[in-house]
A and B are shown apart, each in its own frame.
Chain A
């Protein structure tokens, strides 16, 4: 018995996970692609009706909510990523020194990203509350007029991007810190021999060596930011109006509020391909930065 297991160990060890992946990932994805060619509202009286590419046509050419949601998804991702990458790298460089309380600071810095997104989203809702929130009290003390924050269609999405930035800047910082500690000190010694100042040190030595690490961090973050659901749904459910409705939210609303399952599947197929496309582009870019070193 033991011998038989040993001979087929590879198969036995992989089998449960493969079954799980097939049943819970491959099959559902295939089913979603299949359903995207049907019209169905999950009614047992009306079976799914084959409509071929009609769902996609309607989505791309006749749906007033699809393209705005598409652009919002990218606007949100770009906004959040620019903020958190710049801040994250800057804070990593600030933290990359020996100081008392170093460990404590790192630990405290970890907390935003492990905290439950729905819960912190609702805490930020109180902070952004126009009449009683801390955000406006703070602006007031600086002599700036109160803002509407997530209550206004223009500011709602940037406000949520701010919360995403608060939650995920620490991840960029921690990854960058790990990258910084892996740069060999010989590079800096060589630069010192050439008489480099600290500005040149950063741009000519640290930054190029750090670039692949930053790309990895950005890749992980883009994959998650583009799919951001918890914060948006908890804080605004896509409102006010449709001003924070990203593709993920639009898909969810169509599927589980309107129960347009075929149409939703078409949205999800497009969304799925967009996410896959963006991820591959960043992975290719990351490879390029490694080669030029």
Chain B
């Protein structure tokens, strides 16, 4: 480690300023979500105003946001669980049997524009009568989550010493038994990171849901986007909806930021 540089007063002010600029939109969103349309429209009541909860009432009441929260949660949760079921053994096999080519295929899945899949998916899911179903959404969101899970887990498994499996086998354990009982608990940090990333990527996903979801399975990003189709934008309710979508993710990130940092920087930083 490099010796830490002395922190000048100027540096400190700069650090605070930069941080404030980057969290400003969240503050602005939160403030506006407690304002009436008239208060948002007038520029003199930027900070001092009588807060109202009407926006939240309208978002949960007339806009049915509870349904969309549940939809988003189901899709994110199920696609993450299936992503782990498929991804963990695959990552282990790639790491153990040095299947670099398969690892490369996974990288391709990260590079290819998601929209390249959408036309065939749309045709196939329409033929199978699966548009507006959880199945179609879960499958499409797995495509985003699974490569991330495998990508994060390969180095985790590679980091484990091979003697672990041998030791487990001496104790009468099969290889698959060792995988479940010995190896998986040891790569728990990687599993936490990758499931958080998979969940967040699904929660935030817009494009796939835009085509594949319908009235029954509408997820939060689509629900908030629909606010834009009204002739006059109800800014307060829109901001309340934005708070509701981003709030769970912000809370998760605040508590487990260590895992999130290694998740978003995965692939660029070795180790």
- B contact residues, range: 35 or more
Cross-chain contact A119 with B15 (CB below 8 angstroms): no
Cross-chain contact B227 with A122 (CB below 8 angstroms): yes
- B65 on interface, CB distance cutoff 8 Å: no
- B7 on interface, CB distance cutoff 8 Å: yes
List 14 additional contacts besides A115-B250, A256-B122, A271-B116; criterion CB under 8 Å.
Answer: A2-B176, A3-B174, A16-B90, A35-B119, A106-B257, A110-B253, A111-B26, A114-B250, A116-B242, A119-B245, A169-B22, A178-B265, A233-B206, A268-B113
Q: How far is the CB of B91 from chain A (nearest CB, A)?
A: 9
Could you jot down 30 A-B contacts, CB within 8 Å? A14-B93, A14-B102, A17-B150, A25-B105, A28-B124, A94-B18, A97-B5, A97-B11, A111-B23, A114-B200, A114-B250, A114-B253, A115-B204, A118-B204, A119-B224, A122-B227, A123-B25, A124-B25, A126-B239, A132-B41, A166-B22, A175-B268, A178-B268, A227-B113, A229-B114, A230-B221, A234-B206, A261-B119, A271-B113, A275-B111
Q: How far is the CB of B51 from chain A (nearest CB, A)?
A: 17
Cross-chain contact A213 with B254 (CB below 8 angstroms): no
Asked, given contacts A94-B11, A105-B19, whether A5 binds B206 with beta carbons under 8 Å apart, the answer is: no
Contacts of A181 in B (CB 8 A): 1-2
Q: Mark B215-228, 1 if CB is under 8 A from A, else 0.
A: 00000110011011
Q: How far is the CA of A108 from the CA of B19 in the complex (A)?
A: 7
Contacts of A94 in B (CB 8 A): 11, 14-15, 18
Cross-chain contact B92 with A13 (CB below 8 angstroms): yes
Q: Which chain A residue lies CB-closest to B204?
A: A116
Q: How far is the CA of A84 from the CA of B206 in the complex (A)?
A: 23
Cross-chain contact A110 with B260 (CB below 8 angstroms): yes
B: which residues have CB within 8 A of A? 1-7, 11-12, 14-15, 18-19, 22-23, 25-26, 28-29, 32, 40-43, 46, 85-87, 89-90, 92-94, 96-97, 99, 102, 105-106, 108-124, 139-140, 142-143, 146, 150, 174-177, 200, 203-204, 206-207, 210-211, 220-221, 224-225, 227-228, 235, 238-239, 241-242, 245-246, 249-250, 253-254, 257, 260-261, 264-265, 267-269, 271
Q: Which chain B residue lies CB-closest to A132?
A: B41
Looking at the complex, which one of A10, A24, A171 makes contact with B264 (CB distance below 8 Å)?
Answer: A171
Q: How far is the CA of A108 from the CA of B241 in the complex (A)?
A: 21
Cross-chain contact A10 with B116 (CB below 8 angstroms): no
Q: How far is the CA of A101 from the CA of B29 in the complex (A)?
A: 24
Cross-chain contact A229 with B246 (CB below 8 angstroms): no
Q: How far is the CB of B143 from chain A (nearest CB, A)?
A: 5
Cross-chain contact B14 with A248 (CB below 8 angstroms): no
Q: How far is the CB of A189 from chain B (nearest CB, A)?
A: 9
Cross-chain contact A279 with B146 (CB below 8 angstroms): no
Q: How far is the CA of A16 from the CA of B89 in the complex (A)?
A: 9
Q: How far is the CB of B233 from chain A (nearest CB, A)?
A: 8
Q: How far is the CB of B194 from chain A (nearest CB, A)?
A: 14
- A147 on interface, CB distance cutoff 8 Å: no
Cross-chain contact A178 with B269 (CB below 8 angstroms): yes
Contacts of B123 in A (CB 8 A): 31, 42, 261
**Cβ < 8 Å to B, chain A residues 3-30:** 3, 5-6, 9-10, 12-14, 16-18, 20-21, 24-25, 27-29
